[in-house]
Amino acid sequence: MENWQGFPLPSDYPFRSVFLDTNVVRYLATLPSYFYEAGADEEDQTKLAQITSTKLRTDIDVLRALPNLSARGIPHALVITRDVVEELPLGARQFGENLLSWCIEIGSRDEYTPKNFFDGLAEVLDASDRQLYLQAVALGCDTFLTTDYRTIVKRRDDLPRYGTRIMTPSEWWQQMRPWAGLYL
């Protein structure tokens, strides 16, 4: 995305397309009042109280900016694939289908994953994570947003970059925040 509403984006604008990993979409789906309303309802408060990791709780708090920025027309494309929706728990799949309607909808992994692309990734990521990361790279996404600390974030320095940064929501917000002030 080089233009936004007919205007060129600054060359130093950090995010043109952000691929949402399954775990990010799952949080958006399972905490709807927290993300899309003024505050968390009782059910979402109970779910949030069960999150004991400070790092994860901070990342979930930061994710609240995603719907707000998108609703205000921040110039970046949120990208998910049908594969992300299929990995969601059954109760969250309808949300995933709805999310496809305002994200860039992409087809199947076979259609968008180059054959023999990053053959060495098998030692670094499991099959599902590898497929989603490959899709983000193949689609030209500049950011792969995830809260998968144990595998993807932990091993990101072992992965070839090819223009796609692997970031947690907190890292994303740290770079996005100066730009977000223009839209919030």
As beta bridge partners, residue 78 has 18
Q: Please give the pLDDT value at position 108.
A: 39
CB 106: neighbour CB atoms within 10 A? Answer: 20
Q: Where are the domains of the chain?
A: 12-180
CATH class as words, domain 12-180: alpha beta
Q: Please give the pLDDT value at position 32.
A: 80
The answer to whether residue 34 scores a pLDDT higher than 60 is yes
Q: Please give the pLDDT value at position 120.
A: 55
* 145: confidence class by pLDDT, cuts 50, 70, 90: very high
Q: What is the four-CA torsion angle of 116, 122, 123, 124, rounded to 10 degrees? A: 100
**pTM, two decimal places:** 0.78
What is the spatial distance between Cα 140 and Cα 43, in angstroms, rounded to a whole number?
37
Q: Please give the pLDDT value at position 58.
A: 92
